[in-house]
Structure 1
Amino acid sequence: MYQEQKASLRETTSPPSGDETDIVPIEPTTALAHPPPPDGGFGWVQVAVGHLALFNTFGWFNSYGLFQDYYTSELNLPLSVVSWTGSVQVFLLAAISMFTGRLFDAGYFRSLIAMGSLMQLIAIFTASIASEYWQLFLAQGICGGLGAGLLYCPIISCVATYFSRKRALAIALVTSGGATGGTIFPVIAQQLSDKIGFPWTMRVMGFVVLFNAVLMLMFARTRLPPRSSGPVVEWAAFKELSYSLYTAGAFSLLMAVYLIYNYINHYGRVVLGMDETASLNTLLIANAVGVPGRILPSLLSDAYLGPFRTLVPLTMASGVLYFGWIGVRDPSSLYVFAVLSGIVNGGVQTISMAGLPCLTTDMTKVGTRTGMIITVGSFAALTGPPIAGALIDAAGGRYLYMQIWAGCMMLLSGCFVAASWCAMK
């Protein structure tokens, strides 16, 4: 039986059977106070809300390649410098997750959505009028990252409380918002930047974010009552071997999983000599195929394997693909690589998040414990892209060092996740 079913059993008082001796049921009083998730109903509305939230956050982040390419050409800055804005966005999103997770548990879900959306809008519209890199860094990197951080962990935690048997599918549909946004934003840039200029193109993207934010505020609701007391950090969680190993796996994963979205179009334009439109298409494709790449593994996870046994081969495949990137020598091969890596890395992002609630026995703490792992991973998200950029610069513009390093990080992540699954048995 897969891990989501184990999570469902944890929320009830039913004892485990067969080889599920690793399940530790919670106290009966807790189970009675919080009935099992409905696995549907109004939960699907929250999935739609989550999809829009990920559209606005990771859809924007997954499009950073188009901003990075524009900034390097317009501001004449090296990749290792410009990539800091993108990595700081993801870092701040993840770094504050242990605080936003605790605030979600305390009942501030809609307030977090409102404040996070407001900060995102301020970031986009101020970045559109910035003329120097430090201004872009403060707007897009700092303000945008904090705004996204107020949304991300609460959204994932909220959806997790509505689902048990179908949790991986629900989270897949939520995280597909990152692929949807990562497709729509580059299309907007591709169609409008030559006609109205890049600043106004960013403002158009801002109006799209505003529309999504209004819908989110209209329909966002939590299922469980607030947990008013409790620490921001539950240090005892790290005494659980499976939790600590999964944290290490998430850290390694976040070092490399987003590099494809940061660098693939730059690789096409600078290394392979593709024109700007063709190179941007590779980023668009990598994001677009992430939708089926997220949903198909989640169906497999829900039906047969569970998130841990699904994530291990996905991370291993991602590592192999990064090594395979070394052999990409022409545009046709890059398009193939964009499809394969977009599918696999989309699955990695989704299933890694679906695995987090399975590490929590008491769902009233899901925000806190999920946020703790995301916060630890934030330091990987901060340093990963700049390390990649520095390796490219150190190699004189060649990608070899970066490709080897990224492949090793993904393989290491798979080893940690496999060890975490073994520790749960």
Structure 2
Amino acid sequence: MASTAGERQPLLRNSTEGDGERPRQISAHEVTQHSQEHPDYPIDKGYVAWTQVVGGFILFANSWGLPNAFGVFQTHYVDSLMPGEDTATIAWIGSIQLFFTTLGCLPGGLLIDRGYLKSVIAVGTVLEVIGLVISSFFKTYWAILLSQGVCMGIGSGLLALLPVAVLAMFFEKKRMLATGLASTGASVAGVAYSLSMRSLFVSIGFAWAVRILALIILVTNAIAFSVMRLQLQYGSKGSKFGLHHFKDLPYTAFVVAFTLFVASSFVPFFFVQEYALQLGLPTETAFNLLTVLNVANVFGRFVPNFIADRYGGVNTLIPLTIACIITMAMLPLATNVPTLMAFSVVYGFLSGGVIIIPGPTITDLSPSTSDMGARLGLAYLVAAFGGLLGNPVSAVIKGDGKHAVPNFSGVWFCGAGVMAAGLVALIATRWLKLGSLFAVGRV
């Protein structure tokens, strides 16, 4: 990778900073207006702007895409590599990985405010590759938990916030759409990595399959390293991290909603394969359910975002969340191939928006451009605990009887219940922002 000495500094600064005046409150949409007054890279158009979408696609694939593909690891660990461990114990590997992926967004956000884009990509990539390579040499639970869950999770976390923050600098009117298009990388990776890993586990074994995945991540992240840029910064020393951001009540309510969504939205991705196997479906069919979930998730990551650009992230998330809750609660009725496939298509599509829209919505809720990176990082820091606890708690609720439907009903209802609590917090966000529950406005 090239030297990081010439990294650009980001456009995440209050325009009055440093002139002795009190900083003026600037809406998130004024980021791009400020850039156009001091030309650097074009906004909403141009080769450089759209190459950020390409780079963001890769970083989404190699950060959030890895938890999307964990289901194939979960099944392999339970059935082959560590058959002595129960499902709930194995699920902690994926949850620890998701926790550190979300937790790492805070240092990633603070560092990108200070202009260290290239350095963060480099360090995150090295940690991901090291974690995977180390895990390829072990077959014990704790070794894989530390290498895949912790080391790889930290690396993913450093990369996970970068696309959201960078695209917020390059897009205004098309911000949600650009972020949604880039975020399809997570779903594409969920499909591609699941299919390839499952095949490679059988053909060449766990160790070499994981090493090949490490090589793919190294090569693709090198492409992102070479194309991603930051807008010009005007003397900023970076945003200030602190709990004072929670004095902004709409932001606080939205962080609560976001945390509950992270805790609940990945539950079907983790457990639908095992549910199908307990129903007696063939292994191939059970695996295909996860693939269908991720394929549908691709479309759910840019179609709702197109709508959110016009009506606002919160307004778009409310009906999406309601539909997700209903769909997950109806999963106990899905007991055969047609109904499970229908669930995978519908939930995969709906959850795409629930997973990705919160990021750019936080930038819209940020009153000052100088705080955008810190507020994004802080939100993801809190949401990390939702990712840590959501799937293992759901796994503990799972029964151990002979019948799949009663065994997993608690899992699905728990996921739906947590998401319903997130919906309440989402409605509170809208109320606090607009001043009335039924007020009309973009939020």
Normalised TM-score (structure 2): 0.86
Q: Does 1:272 align with 2:279?
A: yes
Specify whether residues 47 and 80 from structure 1 end up closer, same or farther in structure 2 by C-alpha distance, changes over 3 A only.
same
Instruction: Determine which of 188, 191, 194 is the counterpart of 2:202.
Output: 194
| Structure 2 residue 413 is matched with structure 1 residue 404 | yes
Tell me, which stretches of 5 or more residues in structure 2 are unaligned? 1-12, 17-23, 435-443
2: distance between equivalents of 1:131 and 1:178?
27
Paired residue type of 2:160: Y
Task: Label 1:340 to 1:394 Cα distance change in 2 as closer, same or farther (>3 A).
Answer: same
Deviation at 1:321, TM superposition (A): 1.0
Aligned mates of 2:315, 2:208 — CA distance in 1: 45
1:323-338 aligned within 5 A: 323-338=329-344
Could you give the per-residue CA deviations for residues 90-144 of structure 1, whole angstroms, max 9, x where no partner exists? 1111123222211110111110000001111111122122111111101100001
Residue equivalent to 1:321: 327
Q: For 1:238-262, what per-residue CA distance to the aligned partner results, in whole angstroms no more than 9, with x for missing partners?
A: 1111011101101111111111211
Cα distance in structure 2, aligned partners of 1:263 and 1:423: 36
More helix by share: 1
1:167 equivalenced with 2:175 (yes/no): yes
Shift of 1:410: 1.3
* Residues 1:40 and 2:45 aligned together: yes
Is 1:301 matched with 2:311?
no
Alignment of 1:102-181 (within 5 A): 102-181=110-189
Q: Call closer, same or farther: CA 1:216–1:229 in 2, change over 3 Å.
A: closer
Question: 2: distance between equivalents of 1:133 and 1:411?
Answer: 34
Query: Shift of the alpha carbon at 1:236?
Result: 2.3
Deviations 1:209-239 (A, max 9, x none): 1121110111111114273254332x22211
What is the rounded CA distance, in whole Å, between the counterparts of 1:420 and 1:163 in structure 2? 24
Structure 1 residues 175-254: aligned runs within 5 Å: 175-225=183-233, 227-233=236-242, 235-254=243-262
Partners of 2:27 and 2:182 in 1: how far apart?
Answer: 28
Does 348-357 or 391-400 show the bigger shift? 391-400
Which AA in structure 1 matches 2:428? A
**In structure 2, C-alpha distance between the alignment counterparts of 1:295 and 1:334, rounded to whole Å:** 24
Alignment-derived partner of residue 20 in structure 1: none
Structure 1 residue 282 displacement after superposition: 0.5
SS of residue in 1 equivalent to 2:367: coil
- Contact kept in structure 1, 2:239 and 2:370, CA below 8 Å: no
Report SS of the residue matched to 2:424. helix
- Structure 1: where are the runs of 5+ without partners? 1-9, 14-22
Q: How many angstroms apart in 2 are the aligned matches of 1:395 and 1:326?
A: 15
Whole-angstrom CA distance in 2 between matches of 1:359 and 1:197: 47
> C-alpha distance in 2, partners of 1:127/1:378?
23
Structure 1 counterpart of 2:424, from 401, 415, 420: 415
CA distance in 1: counterparts of 2:379 and 2:258, whole angstroms: 7
Give aligned pairs, total: 403
What's the offset of the Cα at 1:361? Answer: 2.3
Identity %: 25
Q: Does 1:68 align with 2:77?
A: no
Does the CA contact (< 8 Å) of 1:154 and 1:367 recur in 2? no
Which amino acid in structure 1 is aligned with residue 279 of structure 2?
L
In the superposition, the TM-score normalised over structure 1's length comes to 0.89
Moved more, 74-83 or 380-389: 74-83
Letter in 1 for 2:341: Y
- Secondary structure of the structure 1 residue equivalent to 2:161: helix
